[in-house]
Structure 1
């Protein structure tokens, strides 16, 4: 799974295998060692959120703890996305006064010719 930040945009791109794993297990995570020791790793994840949870709220959400960034996708949206030809999911969140974060989750399926 690829993670990209650009200005106020967070983008995750998943290979076909990762999309399948996400569909089966409801989550997928990657780890990037940034410094020595147990606190020196950044974990970023994509996770299904039950539709009845406050995390679902009918749109993509972000949960952040030091060293862990999780994009939460409501269960119904996640299941529909995995099973369809739809390439991407997106949402814009208000994260602070007059500050927005755009979230993109995309299938990275390569060229289809």
Structure 2
């Protein structure tokens, strides 16, 4: 999973095997390890839930984006590229969330494209 943060915006881009894992398990994570101790790790998780709307939380070095099961099922079982939401943090801020399927880069190195979805622009 690729994670991009800019201001109060977060974007998750998942390759095909990660989307399948999310579909099967209801969760997928990526971790940045500064050390071997749990307090030295920064974790990003996409998780399915039974809520009616997308939510985000940050607890113990883990950012979790929670997605309603109906939206998760639609995204993982169709050609839908992604979904987004503006989430009120309850602390006077909003966070923009974008979750997308990751397409192959047409000018990228082959190893970076492993597991990516075919780029729909590649045949134009």
Distance 1:16 1:79 in 2: 15
Counterpart of 2:78 (choices 52, 66, 84) is 84
In 1, Cα distance between equivalents of 2:82 and 2:6: 17
The Cα of 1:72 is off from its aligned counterpart by 0.4
Larger radius of gyration: 2
CA distance in structure 1 between the partners assigned to 2:58 and 2:31 by the alignment: 15
TM-score (structure 2 length as normaliser): 0.79
Tell me the TM-score normalised to structure 1 length.
Answer: 0.86
Match of 2:34 in 1: 34
Q: Which runs of 5+ in 2 are unaligned?
A: 105-118
Gaps of 5+ in 1: 51-55
Which has a greater percent of strand? 1
RMSD of the TM alignment (CA)?
A: 1.3
Paired positions, count: 106
Distance in 2 (alpha carbons) for counterparts of 1:88 and 1:59: 15
Runs of 4+ with deviation above 3 angstroms: none
| Structure 1 equivalent of residue 8 of structure 2 | 8
Instruction: Report the CA distance between 1:109 and its aligned residue.
Output: 2.4
Cα distance in 2 for residues equivalent to 1:36 and 1:14: 25
In structure 1, distance between residues paired with 2:63 and 2:40: 14
